[in-house]
């Protein structure tokens, strides 16, 4: 590691170090998901990538979203996917080759997406980082880190927001008094009913069907099939 | 090595989100296994989630009042829940397809082709 050649050496910003660590793990394993052809390895790399993304959420101060990412996404959705892989990964379906033309086309699409998104990310000055220039300071003076606001747990405020009371915006004088105070009660209800419908639908779709077969098949064959 | 001593901002999170999103799109386009396509969808939704959380964070920008605050967290939660629902239904459809056709190759699902 090379520190900059200044008379006062900048201290290492551990927030940035951990951001670098988690983002490298997330991006590297996301690319590994793309480039491996083995479906079981893809599932494992996806677990690592999404787990590292949960670390990024914690670093951004979103403790509740990060833990929900670990609980629901990594612990629930991906276990579901791994079960699907286990039920279908046999014989020729473990590694399925993609033709070269498809790789070239999708590399073109992905490259153009990145070429649009990456410059856009650095367009806005406010998005660069949490430093401010002291008013009246000359340009060659280094920007000093802003004193960050106190981090506090977000679970209670998120819960109140889901119930329709935005307690996090009560003392915010900059916003219009009504409208922006609206909570998320209606989307919460919609998502609840949606989850119920999805649960019933998934159970209906994935149920084991009784094969309509002629009577003369043997019992052992039926036991194997079902 | 500037990144080790300077604080990170929203832009760095947006870069991570863009890479995850692009990896998901390429994964969706290239995989022939239906479960591989599903994993691509998960990556795309996760890249979007990174952006939502970054825009909702007060620690990543010069003016903390210009962040969207808790709205970003709430939208990210909804995305997580909807991703779980989508994965459950898509997995049920895939298993049904596997039971009926004995394959998970999405190129073989061409019965509706005109």
Q: Is A190 helix (H, G, I), strand (E, B) or coil?
A: helix
Where does the pLDDT of residue A171 fall: very low under 50, low under 70, confident under 90, or very high at 90 and above? Answer: low
The model's pLDDT over A66-110, given as tens digits with 9 standing for 90+, comes to 999 999 998 888 998 998 888 888 777 778 778 888 899 999 999
Interface subset of A 102-161, CB within 8 angstroms of B: 102-103, 105-107, 109-110, 113-114, 117-118, 120-122, 124-132, 145-146, 148-149, 151, 154, 157-158, 161
B102 — contact with chain A (CB < 8 Å)? no
Where does the pLDDT of residue A136 fall: very low under 50, low under 70, confident under 90, or very high at 90 and above? Answer: very low
Residues of B in contact with A122 (CB under 8 A): 11
Q: What is the pLDDT of residue A226?
A: 46
Instruction: Give the dihedral of Cα atoms B98, B101, B102, B107; nearest 10 deg.
Output: -80
Residues of A in contact with B91 (CB under 8 A): 80-81, 83-84, 202, 206
Stated pTM of the model: 0.84
CB contact under 8 A, A26 and B3: no
The model's pLDDT over B6-61, given as tens digits with 9 standing for 90+, comes to 788 888 999 999 999 999 999 999 988 899 999 999 999 999 999 999 998 888 87
Which residue of chain A is at minimal alpha-carbon distance from B78?
A: A191
Nearest to B68 by CA among A174, A145, A146, A116: A174
């Amino acid at each position: 590691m090379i520190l900059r050649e200044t008379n006062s050496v900048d201290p290492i910003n551990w927030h940035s170090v951990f951001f670098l660590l988690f983002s490298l793990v997330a991006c590297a394993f996301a690319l590994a998901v793309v480039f491996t052809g083995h479906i079981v390895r893809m599932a494992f790399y996806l677990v690592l990538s999404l787990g590292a993304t949960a670390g990024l959420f914690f670093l951004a101060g979103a403790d509740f979203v990060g833990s929900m990412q670990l609980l629901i996404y990594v612990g629930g959705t991906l276990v579901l996917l791994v079960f699907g892989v286990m039920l279908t990964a046999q014989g020729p379906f473990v590694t399925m080759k993609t033709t070269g033309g498809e790789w070239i086309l999708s590399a073109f699409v992905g490259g153009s997406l990145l070429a649009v998104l990456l410059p856009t990310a650095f367009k806005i000055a406010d998005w660069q980082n949490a430093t401010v220039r002291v008013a009246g300071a000359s340009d060659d003076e280094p920007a000093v880190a802003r004193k960050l606001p106190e981090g506090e747990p977000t679970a209670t405020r998120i819960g109140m927001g889901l119930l329709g009371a935005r307690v996090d915006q009560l003392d915010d004088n900059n916003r219009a008094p009504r409208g922006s105070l609206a909570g998320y009660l209606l989307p919460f209800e919609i998502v609840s009913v949606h989850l119920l419908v999805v649960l019933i639908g998934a159970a209906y779709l994935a149920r084991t069907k009784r094969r309509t077969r002629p009577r003369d098949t043997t019992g052992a064959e039926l036991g194997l099939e079902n | 090595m500037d990144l080790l001593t300077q604080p990170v901002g929203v832009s760095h999170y947006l870069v991570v989100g863009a890479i995850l999103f692009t990896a998901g799109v390429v994964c969706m386009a290239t995989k022939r296994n239906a479960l591989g396509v599903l994993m691509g969808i998960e990556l795309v939704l996760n890249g979007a989630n990174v952006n939502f959380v970054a825009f909702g964070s007060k620690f990543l920008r010069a003016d903390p009042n210009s962040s969207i605050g808790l709205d970003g967290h709430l939208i990210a939660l909804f995305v997580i829940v909807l991703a779980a629902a989508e994965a459950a239904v898509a997995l049920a459809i895939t298993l049904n397809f596997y039971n009926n056709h004995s394959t998970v190759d999405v190129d073989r699902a061409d019965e509706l082709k005109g």
